[in-house]
Chain A
Amino acid sequence: MVTLGHFLLLAGILLAIGLYGVLTRRNLIAVLMSVEILLNAAALAFVSVAAYRDPHLFAGQIFALFIIVVAAAELSIGFAILLNVYRTHGVVDSDAISEMRG
């Protein structure tokens, strides 16, 4: 029988993987991809707790829906900023933009 603990532990492992990616990736696009994994882990935790515990059935699912919306918005803005970084610096590595005035 699959319990809530299984899903929460899987969400926790995904959270750890995403955090490792955020801390170790040097390309900023890859950092944003790791942030996506973090957000999906949070959404998975919301949905699993909603499915096992929520008598009204919609609060956790709607949270997950809004997480997806905010992630999409954040990613599009982040990619647009990275495009500008590429135009001014020629690379999108985090080392290249360490000074405030490039």
Chain B
Amino acid sequence: MSLTAFYLLAVFIIAFAVVAVTATNMVRAAFSLAVTFFLIAGLYLMLGSPTLAAIQFMVNASAIPIMTLFIIMMTQSRTTPTPRLWQMVLGFIAAAAVLGFLRAAVEHGESQTTAASTAVLGEGLLSAALLPFEVASVLLLLAMVGAIALARRRAG
């Protein structure tokens, strides 16, 4: 893995994530979010798991931004009001606190990765994690039915 590729990806991920949480134009924020998730899929490729990269690309970088754009258009909220001053101060304090808590993370100096093939991942998913896998399918079904029931226009 090359350090240059990582830094390039990291810089663009952080830049697009900052645009996604600060842009007043909601459509621009949604597209920035899509690009952020797309670049995170590139990080998954660097970490040697093409399966997760593909899933990230299909779900987080494609389906979720489309759903977000739909809901932005349906609720006619193309712009969001700028945050109040106390909100910005609180946000900066919280972000700085998180970074302060996590500054010890840089001390992990391992540099040897092991690639995870799709076969290994599938085997683990259907043997060790079989029960969570089934629960996740039920959860997705419940979310689908619940979303339809909630968003349905009531008669009369």
B21 touches A16 (CB 8 A): no
Check B77–A91 contact: CB distance below 8 A: yes
User: Which A-chain residue is minimally distant from B116 (CB atoms)?
Assistant: A57
Main secondary structure of the interface of A (DSSP, over half): helix
Residues of the A chain whose Cβ atoms lie less than 8 Å from the Cβ of B3: 1-2
Distance A39 CA – B59 CA, assembled complex (angstroms): 13
Interface size class of B (residues with CB under 8 A): 35 or more
Q: What's the Cα separation between A13 and B125 when bound, in Å?
A: 30
For residues 16 through 33 of chain B, which have their beta carbon under 8 Å from a beta carbon of chain A? 17-18, 20-22, 26, 29-30, 33
**C-alpha spacing A56/B132, complex, angstroms:** 18
Contact of B83 among A5, A26, A58, A72 (CB under 8 A): A26
A18 to B87, CA, bound (A): 14
Q: Are A92 and B44 in contact (CB under 8 A)?
A: no
8 Å CB contact of A21 from B21, B52, B105: B21
Q: How far is A32 from B142 in the complex, measured between Cα atoms in Å? A: 19
**Min CB–CB distance B116 → chain A (angstroms):** 5
**Which of B26, B115, B123 has its CB near the most chain A CB atoms (within 10 A)?**
B26
List A contacts of B22 (CB < 8 A): 21, 24
Contact sample, A vs B, 6 pairs, CB 8 Å cutoff: A8-B108, A16-B98, A21-B21, A29-B26, A32-B68, A44-B43
Chain B interface residues (CB < 8 Å from chain A): 1-3, 6, 10, 13-14, 17-18, 20-22, 26, 29-30, 33, 36-37, 40, 43-44, 46-49, 51-52, 55-56, 59-60, 63-64, 67-68, 71-72, 74-77, 80-81, 83-84, 87-88, 90-92, 94-96, 98-99, 102, 105-116, 120-121, 123-125, 128-129, 132, 136, 139-140, 142-144, 146-148, 150-151
